[in-house]
Structure 1
Amino acid sequence: MKQDKPVILLIYTGGTIGMVRDLKTNALRAFNFENLLDKIPELQQLNCNIDTVSFEKPIDSSNMNPGYWVQLAEIIETNYKAYEGFVVLHGSDTMSYTASAMSFMLENLTKPIIFTGSQLPVGDLRTDAKENLITAIQLASLQENNTPIITEVCLYFEYKLYRANRTTKINAENFEAFASPNYPELAESGVHLKVNNTYLLKPKPNKPLKVHKVMDTNIALVKLFPGISKAVMESVLNTIGLKAVVMETFGAGNCTTEAWFIELLKNAISKGIHIINITQCISGTINMGHYETSSQLKEIGVISGKDMTTESAICKLMLILGQQVTIKQFKAHYEKALCGELS
């Protein structure tokens, strides 16, 4: 029998938002989320019921890795039918990576998974934790005709809800820590909670949740800079077991036209190593062939990452490599939008 109120599962993985400050020692420690209502009594005003679960040992987000991503995906998979939505509390430093990974790992979502965190601990006087947490839960519980309004992986921070795989962390000190440079916000919290329905990802009805748990980390990230040496590129491309490289290029996908550079990439591609081209600009897209300095990349088979963030490009790469797609299929699979990560 369906409850009158939606039930939301709050998952604490670690991070500042779950910390309280010891007033005697000034040290931070994780608090017991079963006592959440004592810390944030305002949650009782929300039109939903809240259950909580925590990682056995809270993870500093700098230590986050694909093993923990699988652990998080399995928590959601196990509880998927019992809850109408999920809110994941996570450290902000790698939140965009984990949230992007979840968007790829959890296929055929029909419920919201909203990541949030904070820059200050929940007990601090000027904390941003309360607003982020309260609104994230409220967004996760939004329904129309007993059906969730949001059906994708999102990230909520400082009054804005973003598509998770479009986000990047832009500030280590301000409360407005995240941005979505190439896609509009999905919702905005002001006097009213405004949801931009036009931009929401539409669910695939009648398809069961499919959880991908194999993420291949045999990849590298290279950010080009003027004067990058042949020795550096060779050392990366000759890494034992390397399967793919995300290459951050200039502007709309441009790079040096030095013969040695193009030859190194060409040789790597001939060995089956995938080279993904994304821009190191904060916003914009790859347009290989628009300038002479990117024409050769297109000719030798470099793959376009289009307007994906670095975080999304990396997580998508791990996922597709984990699915063991053939070399011939890989380019078409990677350049196709799987869950709204590219335009």
Structure 2
Amino acid sequence: MQQKILLVYTGGTIGMVKDSSSGVLLPFDLENLLDQIPKLHSINAEIDTISVPNPKDSADMQPSDWQFLGDLIYSKFMQYNGFVVLHGTDTMSYTASALSFMFSNLRKPIIFTGSQLPVGDIRTDALENVLTAIQIALLQENGNPSINEVGVYFDSHLYRGNRSTKISSDRFKAFSSPNFPALVTSGVSLKVNEPILLKPNINRATKFSHDLNTKVFLLKIHPAIDQLMFEQFCKFVDFDALILETYGSGTIFSQDWLLILLQKMQEKGKKIINCSQCVSGIVKQGIYEGSKQLNALGIISGKDMTTEAALAKTMYLLGQKSAENDFKMQFETDLRGELY
């Protein structure tokens, strides 16, 4: 039986066209985009296409869009062997991370891709990205999908979605996976790194959770933060969880007032998570003086997660209404291959 792939268009540079008078990139419709990729018809599979109602620049994507996209894919999950999502690059890793948590025991591939140049540009990277993403989604082993997770395919590499991050706005190598190897490398052939792939339970169905709690605030620690600034933030910003982007391996400045404010937040039931500002590496909370106090307070460690994954995982766990004392344990536990 011929395999079926659903190509979902959400917007982004890949589907834009340059206005001849202003030079500004404007949204393109899906049919015109497909006309620019005639080789789609040469793929030995049935490829259906669908566009979200209002395609967006990825900078405008919000958690409600993640929910809509997840619902769309889940509603058609039994009809297709895999899914390829065309998405803008700026927030692709956020969307891919979110869907990786919202889908549990994923038994089919959901591959995100896009491009740095519009599909109609003479030097576009869109053609290779889309065609190879579809080929990866079609990979099978003994009649079952080879890839059973959410991935980001860009510039010859398929990365685990919740391990990916955008690293460049002007190179074709727009994405990287600093703390985890590529799942698939594309050259003359597709080289699958089989030992590191997620393995679903074939006796259990794939499930999807629509619920997210978006009351999560991301705060980057920097040398100019003072007591008044932090006090005002705590007083006027409404959040259920705070992700601190700290220095290096999870260190922060040592000030008594900071520890007191963090403790007060915890006593009010706020979740506080420690992630590193560094692109690669791991939070080692407690090994340096600058993080001992965080460890003593029981601050949650983001370990080697990307910021995108930490944000999505926090929204997901809060949305599941995990028991108060289970949140830290679940966050620091690998759920979808997002941490070591």
Q: Output the TM-score relative to the length of structure 1.
A: 0.95
Which shifted more, 186-195 or 76-85?
186-195
Q: Are residues 1:9 and 2:6 paired?
A: yes
The superposition leaves residues 271-305 of structure 1 with CA deviations (integer Å, 9 ceiling, x where unpaired) of 11111001111101111111121111111110001
How big is the shift at 1:175?
Answer: 0.8
For 1:13 and 1:178, locate their aligned partners in 2 and report how far apart those are by CA, in whole Å: 19
Conserved? CA contact 1:278–1:306, under 8 Å: yes
Q: Are residues 1:96 and 2:93 paired?
A: yes
**The residue matched to 1:238 in structure 2 has which SS?**
helix
The superposition leaves residues 92-151 of structure 1 with CA deviations (integer Å, 9 ceiling, x where unpaired) of 000000010000011111000000000110010000010100100110011122210000
Per the alignment, residue 147 of structure 2 pairs with: 150
Amino acid at match of 2:129: N
Q: Are residues 1:342 and 2:339 paired?
A: yes
How big is the shift at 1:188?
Answer: 0.8
Structure 1 residues 82 and 304 mapped into 2: Cα distance closer, same or farther (>3 Å)?
Answer: same
Per the alignment, residue 84 of structure 2 pairs with: 87
Consecutive aligned runs of 4 or more in structure 1 exceeding 6 Å deviation: none
The superposition leaves residues 149-171 of structure 1 with CA deviations (integer Å, 9 ceiling, x where unpaired) of 00000000011100000011111
How big is the shift at 1:29?
Answer: 4.1
Conserved? CA contact 1:220–1:236, under 8 Å: no
Conserved? CA contact 1:214–1:322, under 8 Å: yes
For 1:134 and 1:293, locate their aligned partners in 2 and report how far apart those are by CA, in whole Å: 48
Conserved? CA contact 1:12–1:54, under 8 Å: yes
Please tell me the root mean square deviation across aligned C-alpha atoms, in Å. 1.5
**The residue matched to 2:17 in structure 1 has which SS?**
strand
**The residue matched to 1:287 in structure 2 has which SS?**
coil
How big is the shift at 1:210?
Answer: 1.5
Structure 1 residues 5 and 222 mapped into 2: Cα distance closer, same or farther (>3 Å)?
Answer: same
How big is the shift at 1:324?
Answer: 1.1
Equivalenced residue count is 340
Conserved? CA contact 2:15–2:33, under 8 Å: no
Q: Are residues 1:315 and 2:312 paired?
A: yes
Aligned pairs for 1:1-343 within 5 A: 4-21=1-18, 26=23, 28-34=25-31, 38-239=35-236, 241-343=238-340
Extract unaligned runs of 5+ from structure 1. Answer: none
Identity %: 51
Conserved? CA contact 2:220–2:245, under 8 Å: yes
Q: Output the TM-score relative to the length of structure 2.
A: 0.96
Structure 1 residues 318 and 234 mapped into 2: Cα distance closer, same or farther (>3 Å)?
Answer: same
Structure 1 residues 39 and 240 mapped into 2: Cα distance closer, same or farther (>3 Å)?
Answer: closer
**The residue matched to 1:188 in structure 2 has which SS?**
strand
